[in-house]
Amino acid sequence: MNAESLEGEDRPGHTGYNYAYLDEQTKRMLRRALLKAVAIPGYQVPFASREMPMPYGWGTGGVQVTASIIGPSDVLKVIDQGADDTTNAVSIRKFFANTAQVTTTTSSERATIIQTRHRVPETALSDGQILVYQVPIPEPLRWLEARESETRKMHALREYGVMHVSLYEDIAHHGRIAKSYDYPVLVEDAYIMRPSPIPKFDNPKLDNCPALQLFGAGRERRVYALPPYTRVVSLDFEDHPFDVETWEESCAICGAQDSFLDEVVTDDKGGRMHVCSDTEYCNKRLAAQGRQEATA
């Protein structure tokens, strides 16, 4: 995070762009917004979102946040729904390898910055790491109130009863809280926040997390943040407490029973299997099993 000292014209890989693609003024503006976001956990800070060389919905918010904080000494990991090897993850990783000359990795432990779309890694994060979320819709109150002026006022006055109205509706119609991703949370007993479309399975990982968590919404032009060790509580009712998904199955590849599983259809005869959504976690377990077998 010392891009200021890197006048990058002479660095390899540059083709007329500033270091990490964005100009220094833009990065400074973003960092100011992020500082404010860190100072007020869960509060949405507006910023002047730039056009990025990718369409909205592909992580323009996350990429801008990453660009504003990254430096050559950083090690970057990018995941898309837990996977390191999808198109989106690969191209964002390449983008920063190219424009910011950073080392990239698939290891959650080695990474200093992890940009993610819709998952939190299974591997516990640690002090000093930064998790950057790509956010499509930052406003938790948007579903019922279209006016930004009104939602800002509702946040300011903590008029959050309506959030429970949406949970009430779930129970009334489905007998339980059916919302399974982008599950709203209350941050430090103050702001209600959307955790981005991560499965609610990941919500407990947000609470008291040692890593800094930054959220960027490019189209909606908002950033927000959870500083390390912030209290994050998922909304619920006393008689319908928050819980996370569990599976009867275990991962068909690594046998994990504690990770978030994706259901994969394997043929056109109804065959299917469950595998870890976090590819790194799965590979790591597999490698460890291989070593065990080798030593056995």
The residues annotated with a catalytic role in the active site are: 42, 251, 254, 276, 282
Nearer to other proteins, 39 or 165 (CB): 165
* 3-class SS of residue 224: strand
Rounded to a whole number of angstroms, the minimum distance from the CB of residue 236 to other proteins is 8
Q: Which residues sit at the interface with other proteins, rule CB under 8 A?
A: 144, 153, 156-157, 159-162, 164-166, 168-169, 171-173, 236-240
Residue owning tokens 């209350």: 186
Rounded to a whole number of angstroms, the minimum distance from the CB of residue 175 to other proteins is 11
Q: What is the maximum span of the chain, computed from C-alpha positions, in angstroms?
A: 65
Rounded to a whole number of angstroms, the minimum distance from the CB of residue 244 to other proteins is 19
Nearer to other proteins, 1 or 144 (CB): 144
Nearer to other proteins, 6 or 162 (CB): 162
Residue owning tokens 């698939």: 106
Rounded to a whole number of angstroms, the minimum distance from the CB of residue 190 to other proteins is 14
Radius of gyration of the chain (CA): 20
Rounded to a whole number of angstroms, the minimum distance from the CB of residue 188 to other proteins is 17
> 281-289: long-range contacts (C-beta < 8 A, 24 or more apart)?
281/82, 281/108, 281/121, 281/122, 281/123, 281/254, 281/256, 282/251, 282/253, 282/254, 282/256, 283/106, 283/254, 284/123, 285/251, 285/254, 285/255, 285/256, 286/253, 286/254, 289/254, 289/255
* Residues 6 or more apart in contact with residue 92 via CB below 8 angstroms: 59, 62, 63, 78, 115
Nearer to other proteins, 33 or 235 (CB): 235
Cα–Cα distance, 180 to 245 (Å, whole number): 8
Nearer to other proteins, 40 or 75 (CB): 40
Residue owning tokens 């599950």: 183
DSSP 4: G
Nearer to other proteins, 178 or 288 (CB): 178
Cα–Cα distance, 138 to 292 (Å, whole number): 44
Rounded to a whole number of angstroms, the minimum distance from the CB of residue 45 to other proteins is 22
Cα–Cα distance, 146 to 137 (Å, whole number): 12
Residue owning tokens 């973003």: 30
Cα–Cα distance, 249 to 178 (Å, whole number): 21
